[in-house]
């Protein structure tokens, strides 16, 4: 199991940010959508006035011009204590293809634990607020990263919340007051900018769930698309079972296409911890 495979499984948001080059669900009955139209704004229009001495002067007269309606939407997010998820990952890039199962345990806003088991456990990873660590059990090595250095490397604010949101179908970057919201074909589109990356989030009007994320760098050389589908309702929470990411990135004048499909086959919302056992054996070598 390669280092790249580990990154793909739980951390493909980082791969997406790299490709782009610098680039609570609350219960349904408490989610509200409001469309607010502001009052018409007055603008001054120049008017020509000719006086008795045939002198031409310019005065200003107030006229009313309609303003653009402001759309206020609150995307539905998954709220939980613990999650136990069994998934399958399909990955293809540059002629390489891999497929493997992964077990994921999440403690909300705290820990993401992963295990790849194909007969025997091939790898284990843990993501916390501060760091990302992966054990390659086949080669007895481990990889350790911290979010501060990763953010600096990619010139993109990478953090735990971003990874958690990608895995469960919340908006990767929470909606901000400065974000632009538009209505398009039955969806709300929330437009954001983070560093050199432009992001569009498509939110379904029917249930306010995230359906699609499009991101691209300012040069247009790299872009990413994430689709969420096959939604499942569990104890009043709506989860996407299928997450499909497509990444196009230019490298050496050529476009490298990467496809990552994550299929959640089992999702449990728990009140008790599913377990987060993790340690680095003394015999393992850092890479």
127-186: pLDDT as tens digits: 999 888 989 888 899 988 888 887 776 656 778 888 898 889 999 888 998 899 999 988
- Percent of all residues in the chain with a pLDDT value above 90, rounded to a whole number: 33
Phi/psi at 4 (nearest 5 deg)?
-60, -40
Q: What is the pLDDT of residue 56?
A: 46
Per the document, the length of the chain is 287
200 touches 211 (CB < 8 A): no
Q: What is the pLDDT of residue 170?
A: 92
212 touches 172 (CB < 8 A): no
115 touches 121 (CB < 8 A): yes
Average pLDDT over residues 201-205: 94
Q: Model pTM?
A: 0.74
Sign of torsion over alpha carbons 98, 92, 13, 238: negative
């Amino acid at each position: 199991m390669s280092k790249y495979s580990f990154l793909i499984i739980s951390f493909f948001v980082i791969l997406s940010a790299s490709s782009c080059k610098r680039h609570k669900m609350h219960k349904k009955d408490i989610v509200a959508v409001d469309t607010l139209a502001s009052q018409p704004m007055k603008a001054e229009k120049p008017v020509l006035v000719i006086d008795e001495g045939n002198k031409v002067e310019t005065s200003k007269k107030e006229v009313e011009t309609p303003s653009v309606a402001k759309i206020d939407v609150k995307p539905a997010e998954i709220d939980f204590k613990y999650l136990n998820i069994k998934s399958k990952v399909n990955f293809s890039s540059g002629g390489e293809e891999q497929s493997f199962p992964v077990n994921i345990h999440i403690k909300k806003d705290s820990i993401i634990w992963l295990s790849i088991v194909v007969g025997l456990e091939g790898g284990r990873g843990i993501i916390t607020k501060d760091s990302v660590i992966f054990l390659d059990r086949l080669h007895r090595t481990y990889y350790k990263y911290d979010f501060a250095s990763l953010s600096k490397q990619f010139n993109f604010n990478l953090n735990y919340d971003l990874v958690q949101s990608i895995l469960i179908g919340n908006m990767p970057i929470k909606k901000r007051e400065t974000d632009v919201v538009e209505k398009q074909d039955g969806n709300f589109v929330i437009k954001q900018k983070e560093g050199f990356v432009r992001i569009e989030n498509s939110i379904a009007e029917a249930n306010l769930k995230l359906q699609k994320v499009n991101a691209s760098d300012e040069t247009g050389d790299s872009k990413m698309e994430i689709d969420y589908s096959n939604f499942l309702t569990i104890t009043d929470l709506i989860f996407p079972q299928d997450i499909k990411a497509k990444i196009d990135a230019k490298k050496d004048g050529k476009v490298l296409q990467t496809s990552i499909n994550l299929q959640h086959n089992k999702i449990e919302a728990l009140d008790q911890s599913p377990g987060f056992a993790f340690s680095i054996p003394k015999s393992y070598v850092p890479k």
